[in-house]
């Protein structure tokens, strides 16, 4: 009997020791991020920095379930399907408990690679392709969550912004024409199509003045600027997202602008290099994001922390996105109680309500993605605001929508 008791005590001690050891093992967040190449580096660096800042804070507060968080960074080749599959497969097989990605240019291969394991995969792809793929097989892609919304809302929200700016009395357009300069990738094409559809729904309040095609990489903006001058539209939409090329446009446009036209640059100025490369030429230009860092108390506190940790020009989108993603995963792991139970963690994310620095997160069960204000909800605290910024004094300042306005719109220098 004594031997049996000793054997039982030894076994119990071993179990407790193993449990204690397991409790100290890190919970791993796999972060596939582009480290080099023509596109994506700035956004992916912003995302990685944001996650790193959040993980440092979470670990300083004791971690999750008594365990520290660990970031496993992987250099992602996102320009090819094979590169996406290889990167995601490596993280999954390496024991990641979740994957957190800024975006992939080709979303489907990454989703297909993640789906069989059921691993929680959160991202900011801003892509209708993700929504379509999820809806094609909701069970298979159940644990893959787009934290923001599809790119089509950029087009819808842009036309709403024009209407609201006129209604506010801040802008009296010289005509009702919109000139769209569109890139040729799916992302920009879908934005252009959504913009055209929203313009058509205004019943003549706005009309498409012209559409000009561009092809990445844009070496010379002179032909585009000549086309803009010929159309002389009140509103100019440069539907392109590469910051360095938008900075080149801004520099060329500053020397030969279209008088009294409102210039909107699609998303790209959010990346730090835009202000750095434009060197003041972006002054007065407007840009937007469906997934950006607010300028409210929570957002400004984050900005200050981020700038202290990463001095220099700050990105206005994926810095906050990565930061929020880490806290969303931490909350889901706490709720599930076991990071290895992928479906329990997925259920926790699916039912989460979280107010982050990029707005309010709630997953739409029809799309497994976020909700946009004011595009999809009238409640400013029920989604992520479609923010419009204007470059003022070489800084990005929020000019729409209410109640998140930081400063009023000002006349650009070429007016």
CATH of the domain at 180: 3.40.50.2300
Residues 199, 61 within the same domain: no
pLDDT at 325 (0 to 100): 98
Q: Look at residue 396 and tell me if it is in a domain.
A: yes
Task: Decide if pLDDT at 6 tops 90.
Answer: no
Residues 278, 171 within the same domain: yes
pLDDT at 15 (0 to 100): 40
Residues 139, 192 within the same domain: no
Residues 43, 171 within the same domain: no
Residues 226, 161 within the same domain: yes
| Mean pLDDT score, 406-415 | 97
The model's pLDDT over 56-72, given as tens digits with 9 standing for 90+, comes to 999 999 999 999 999 99
Closest to 346 (Cα-Cα) out of 121, 125, 159? 121
pLDDT band at 219 (very low <50, low <70, confident <90, very high): confident
Task: Decide if pLDDT at 415 tops 50.
Answer: yes
**Could you give the CA distance from residue 291 to residue 373 in angstroms, rounded to a whole number?**
10
Residues 172, 285 within the same domain: yes
Residues 30, 143 within the same domain: yes
Residues 161, 285 within the same domain: yes
pLDDT at 39 (0 to 100): 85
Residues 396, 252 within the same domain: yes
Task: Decide if pLDDT at 4 tops 80.
Answer: no
**Structure letter (DSSP) for residue 123:** E
pLDDT at 23 (0 to 100): 62
Task: Decide if pLDDT at 2 tops 60.
Answer: no
Burial of 221 (0-12, 13-18, 19+ CB in 10 A): buried
Instruction: List, in order, residues 6 or more apart from 252 with CB less than 8 Å away.
Output: 221, 222, 225
Task: Decide if pLDDT at 18 tops 90.
Answer: no
Q: Look at residue 415 and tell me if it is in a domain.
A: no
Task: Decide if pLDDT at 17 tops 80.
Answer: no
Task: Decide if pLDDT at 7 tops 50.
Answer: no
pLDDT at 373 (0 to 100): 98
Q: Look at residue 411 and tell me if it is in a domain.
A: no
Tokens 């397991």 belong to which residue?
Answer: 22
| Mean pLDDT score, 130-153 | 98
- Higher pLDDT among residues 311 and 17, named by residue: 311
pLDDT band at 12 (very low <50, low <70, confident <90, very high): very low
Q: Look at residue 197 and tell me if it is in a domain.
A: yes
Q: Look at residue 100 and tell me if it is in a domain.
A: yes
Task: Decide if pLDDT at 381 tops 70.
Answer: yes
Percentage of the chain lying above the pLDDT 90 cut: 92
> Which string of DSSP letters, residue by residue, matches 139-168?
TTTTTEEESS--THHHHHHHHHHHHHHHHT
pLDDT at 38 (0 to 100): 81
Instruction: State both tokens at 69.
Output: 């968080």
The model's pLDDT over 314-342, given as tens digits with 9 standing for 90+, comes to 999 999 999 999 999 999 999 999 999 99
Query: What is the chain's percent helix, strand, coil content, to nearest 5?
Result: 45, 20, 40
**Mean of pLDDT over the chain:** 94
Quote the domain boundaries for residue 115: 25-150+296-370
Residues 178, 255 within the same domain: yes
Q: Look at residue 237 and tell me if it is in a domain.
A: yes
**Could you give the CA distance from residue 12 to residue 80 in angstroms, rounded to a whole number?**
51
The model's pLDDT over 236-294, given as tens digits with 9 standing for 90+, comes to 999 999 999 999 999 999 999 999 999 999 999 999 999 999 999 999 999 999 999 99
Using CA atoms, how far residue 377 sits from 154, 352, 383, 384, in Å, is 15, 17, 7, 10
Task: Work out how many domains the chain is built from and give that number.
Answer: 2
> CA neighbours within 13 Å on the CB side: how many for 138?
8
Residues 51, 136 within the same domain: yes
Q: Look at residue 60 and tell me if it is in a domain.
A: yes
Task: Decide if pLDDT at 10 tops 60.
Answer: no
Q: Look at residue 414 and tell me if it is in a domain.
A: no
Residues 84, 217 within the same domain: no
């Amino acid at each position: 009997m004594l031997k049996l008791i000793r054997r039982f005590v030894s076994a119990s001690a071993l179990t407790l020791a193993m449990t204690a050891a397991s409790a100290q093992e890190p919970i791993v967040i796999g972060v596939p991020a582009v480290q080099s190449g023509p596109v994506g580096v700035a956004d992916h660096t912003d995302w990685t920095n944001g996650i790193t800042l959040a993980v440092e804070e979470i670990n300083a507060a004791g971690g999750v379930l008594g365990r520290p968080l660990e970031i496993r960074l992987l250099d992602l080749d996102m320009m090819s399907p094979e590169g996406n599959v290889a990167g995601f497969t490596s993280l999954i097989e390496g024991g990641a408990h979740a994957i957190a990605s800024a975006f992939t240019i080709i979303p489907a291969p990454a989703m297909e690679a993640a789906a069989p394991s059921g691993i929680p995969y959160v991202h900011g792809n801003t892509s209708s392709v993700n929504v379509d793929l999820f809806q094609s097989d909701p069970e298979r892609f159940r644990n893959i969550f787009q934290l923001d919304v599809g790119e089509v809302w950029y087009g819808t929200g842009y036309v709403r912004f024009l209407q609201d700016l006129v209604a506010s009395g801040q802008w009296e357009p010289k005509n009702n024409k919109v000139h769209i300069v569109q890139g040729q990738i799916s992302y920009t094409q879908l934005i252009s199509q959504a913009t055209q559809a929203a313009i058509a729904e205004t019943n003549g309040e706005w009309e498409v003045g012209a559409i000009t095609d561009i092809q990445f990489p844009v070496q010379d903006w002179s032909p585009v600027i000549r086309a803009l001058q010929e159309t002389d539209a009140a509103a100019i939409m440069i539907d392109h997202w590469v910051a360095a090329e938008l900075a080149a446009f801004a520099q060329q446009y500053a020397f030969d602008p279209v008088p009294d036209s409102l210039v909107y640059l699609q998303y790209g100025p959010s990346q730090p290099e835009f202000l750095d490369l434009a060197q003041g030429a972006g002054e007065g230009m407007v840009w937007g994001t469906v997934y950006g860092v607010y300028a409210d108390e929570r957002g400004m506190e984050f900005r200050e922390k981020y700038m202290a940790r990463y001095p220099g020009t700050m990105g206005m989108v994926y810095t906050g996105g990565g930061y929020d993603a880490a806290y969303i995963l931490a909350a889901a792991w706490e709720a599930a109680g076991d990071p290895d139970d992928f479906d329990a963690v997925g259920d926790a994310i699916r039912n989460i309500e979280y107010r982050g620095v990029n707005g309010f997160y709630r997953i739409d069960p029809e799309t497994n993605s976020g909700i946009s204000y004011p595009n999809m909800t009238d409640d400013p605290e029920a989604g992520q605001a479609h923010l419009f910024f204007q470059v003022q004094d070489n800084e990005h300042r929020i000019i729409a929508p209410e109640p998140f306005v930081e400063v009023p719109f000002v006349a650009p220098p070429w007016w």
